[in-house]
Structure 1
Amino acid sequence: VKLADRLHNMRTLEYQPEHKRKRIAKETLEIYAPLAGRLGIDWIKTELEDLSFKYLYPEEYKRLKEEVEKRVKVSTEYVEKVKNILREILEKNNIKGKVLGRVKHLYSVYRKLEKYNLTIEDLDQIYDLIGFRVIVNTVEECYKTLGVIHAKWHPIPGRFKDYISLPKPNMYQSLHTTVLGPEGKKIEIQIRTEYMDKVANEGIAAHFLYKEGKLLSEKDYKHFSWLEKLIELQKELKHPREFLESLKLDLFPEEIYVFTPKGDVITLPVGATPLDFAYTIHTEVGHRCVRAYVNDRLVPLDYKLETGDVVKIETSPFQTPSRDWLKIVKTGRAKSRIKQWFKKEEKEKLINLGKEILHRNLKKNGISLNSFVKSEKLPEILEKLKIKNLDELYYQIGSAKISVKYILKFFIEEEEKEPILKPEIEKEEKEEKFQKIEGISFPEEVDILSVDGTKGILFRLARCCKPIPGDEVIGYITRGKGISVHRVDCPNIKDLDPERFIEVRWENSNGKTYPAHIYIVSLDRKGLLANISSAIAAAESNILKAEVKTTPDKKAYFEIYIEVNDRSHLEKVIANILKVKDVLKVERKLV
């Protein structure tokens, strides 16, 4: 119903404003057309693609349509000649069937041009602009027809595909071959039965209509396994954008077919790796994958699989996913499973952090964590905060969504016994040795970072390396002071406990400014400071503090603190300063 509704919308899209046309056409091309393809409804897929193409690339659509129509007119006589020869071949070999000639739809022609880096002027290089379809009665006749066609015309090596023995996930079945036809021209021929043709055009529904009243086999239900996986994925991925990204990955137009050692067929997108194969078998097989063998040969995990490969995965209980795997895998399922593993790991770290923060603050008030956990007041506190269990409470504390002071307020009866919430100073963090720089304020807490998409957590920016949005950073779970954020190249992090590191990433900076320390070396001359100040101002930055030293060899050394929005803003300031005459070097100081 949704596909039919979208098709109607696309047919009437011309009445919408241009910005809406582009947005709807893009969404249709990325989601609805592939979905129709997955369900095997070729006529809907084809029309959706061509209509999307028309509104997304109107100039290319118009030119390509004109050029294709010209060539079709010229080829009419040739098409009839080929059809007549194919009919004669069928008749001579006592095969009952019909022969059709079809013009490739515009968007598929456009995609083929793009695939081979061709322009519309190179259209004559696309030999399958017009394809031929032979429809017979049985599967045996399909293969017999293929044999007699190959006996008549030489097949092109590597251009034969057997989708009858290895159907596509949308149940599409057909034999595809390309041969050198009359006049030495390449022609593409598809061979299928009436039933296969019906399923190819009308989709999976045609198969189940054919089966109406009959019991469905396990094989029938397997055709919907991809749909079950998408539904499962939708339940797991809470954010619609994440689901949409995974959906785009899984509605891939081109596929390969690989085998398990037992001979089961696994369908994967072109470019898939042994890791994608492992996650398709089972999530745990993916998580614990240590090595892969393809056709009995050891291969790297980023090896690109091909149709016909037999894949064997070896696992280890000690193996865990790596973030580098996200760059390797191709399927939405694999990506989502790896991300989930890291989210779970980061959540466990935040639970432990919350537990530690609560324990320390209870201890300061003369209360043990054990007595808090066993207290009759705990269920009342959880109910009041609408929290399901103790781990969820620890998580809320660790991610700074709930204040410990707020919890203790409920737990401690005596009003005069107000908890002292001065968290202990983290001894391991050398950053505390760095004193405040006069005239410059560093943001104590910021809320523009997230832990694997979890927002609303308050972080402290480490003073030792002064990270700004855009820097590659890592979080460190301190004792009692939340998450401290360091640049990954900060010299101090090598002395910290690696078990307490946590992955963090920047979100929107919301226009805030941050101090950045830059060091400039130049030849000394009159007006130099004024020129540098003008360059900084031209980059829309402000000087917070500046120190200049000159040497007898006519060199000037500047240490300047400036205000920037993020790393790209800082780079713009540095680029401006480098343009100033006599400036030799500009660099950001780490500490």
Structure 2
Amino acid sequence: MASVQHPFPPLLSQDSADIERWLLALNDVYASDEVALIRKACEFAAPLYHDEVDVTGASLLQHALGSASILIGLHMDHETIAATALHAVPNHLQDWREVLTTRFGANVTRLVAGISDMERLRHFSELREAAIADKQEAAQQVEGLRKMLLAMVEDIRVVLIKLAERTQTLRNLSSASPDTQQHIAQETRSIFGPLANRLGVWQLKWELEDLSLRYLEPLLYKKVAKLLDERRVDREKYIADIVAQLQSALAAQGIKGEVNGRPKHIHSIINKMKRKQMEFSELYDIRAVRVQVKDVENCYAALSVVHELWPAIHSEFDDYIANPKPNGYQSLHTAVLGPRDLAVEVQIRTPQMHHDSELGVAAHWRYKENKQSESGFDEKIAWLRQILAWKAELADSGEMKEQFKNELLQDRVYVFTPQGKVIDLPKGATPVDFAYVVHTDLGHRTRGAKLDGSIAPLNTKLQTGQRVEILTAKQGGPSRDWLSPKLGFLQSARSRAKVRHWFSEQNVDDSIAQGRALLDRELVRVGVTDINQEKLAQKLKFNKLDDLLASLGRGEITPRRVSLAIGQEAPVNAPRASTQTIATSDGNVVIEGVGNLVSRTAKCCSPTKGDEIIGYVTRDRGITIHRRDCPFMQRVPEEREDRLLEARWVAKTN
């Protein structure tokens, strides 16, 4: 297993002299004012942490600064390092937000808050994950937690801090209890390894995966490690010969490049053995080299040189330059039959591709004074937070590729049940939506909700990370108010369909009675007291009035839809709500139920006298007159129906 080699020395002990040596070494990396902030953070944290230790028995301060050393090796900014030193402060101070903001600024405080939020979610999920016997359900819960973690993170540096912390924990895990070793290793394989992979931080990914495997599958790990070690001398000599031949061939073609042997990681070897059902001796990439050339054009030129030197194994070619991996990884991969017909894997990339693949998103952070992050990176971070697919195999599925492209993480919220199960909901979802996702019957019997232990209205929009508890009646059904877009009880079309279905299953007489009450209320609202209701039903495509009333009662048609037809059926002398009259070239238009708003005819359908028309309240609070059959009017969503107003032509007066 090849551990990440960091240029920055870790803290060896909690001794004050060692801490001072660690702080002095910062001067080689950061500006003096940046070092001052990190020193201040260490001096603030040290007395709070005192003699406290982490799960491995290491002192809390040593753990924090060891994690910070890893992040310095990833070239992270000084605020990230300060926040890492302060990461456990929320466990030691009641008013930590105010104190940290005053002493270290809002940016550092936000990072510490993000670390605290991730830790809270992780611990809350442990009970649920441990209780799940079904492997498929457990996998779904782990995936849901991953999504929730990224959805909550406003600054991707928080995730990098957690990855560094976990790497530091694994390095010292041998001194922990067997149960702790298993728990930490399993959580690393389920959560933190995939996070490092998706963020493209290969330096940490390999170490996280290899170290977790050491505890999860110790016998297999030792077997592969032994096989690698037994053949190490022969393999290194063979690779040295390959490097020399390839370097010479590239130079002969005028291609300037750097060729090196590539370290192999035990986790990737075992993964490939399992995935391809191959023995250790059959793997192509036990012997591997990496070629770095100046640009993409030279990458393909170098590939041609490789294939001229040795026969290619065509099934092992991948072009990740033309088709990058979802995490942005780029490189050419090929396998050839080298000298003695032994398989060799060759990776070809540019120095920038190599830099990005090793550091991932960390490569894009800049900590120079007053230098802002690149705009392209801001877009990349936005893209990273849309990630839904977590396993590399999903990239091979066309259907999953489409899902990856079309579903955006920021359009979802992830909340917990009281038992710790993660529920995935559309953004804007309410406790009622949540209840219907958990179980249809729970949705029907919903009467109240608690969010993180506090009573909340049923139309509250849920936020990622909340714990949702539904208060129910022993029996009963949903409220018709839930179907009103204006009241905001339901966001999901699926939830609304379940409510409508419930009403459709109820007694027809009850539905007619409910519909009668709704129709009467709507007639009063629009100011119409004399109307032929049978003709109204026929206009709405119902055979008779009772069918219209039953449909209203079941929630299949909204009162607002009925009111759209009322204006055409009402007698001329029927009392109406307040109106506005506007002049057009063809005649006057009377708009029902509105005061003196600016009005105009729509250019999209250009209504003329004789057309059936309707008014629409625009965002700037004006009114646009459309034809009733205007395509725009046909597509008005249910939640905007309250913007529709009755309108009719009247004779033009002088």
Query: TM-score with structure 1 length normalisation?
Result: 0.44
Q: What TM-score do you get using the length of structure 2 for normalisation?
A: 0.40
Greater relative contact order (CA < 8 Å, ≥ 6 in sequence): 2
**Higher helix share goes to which structure?**
2
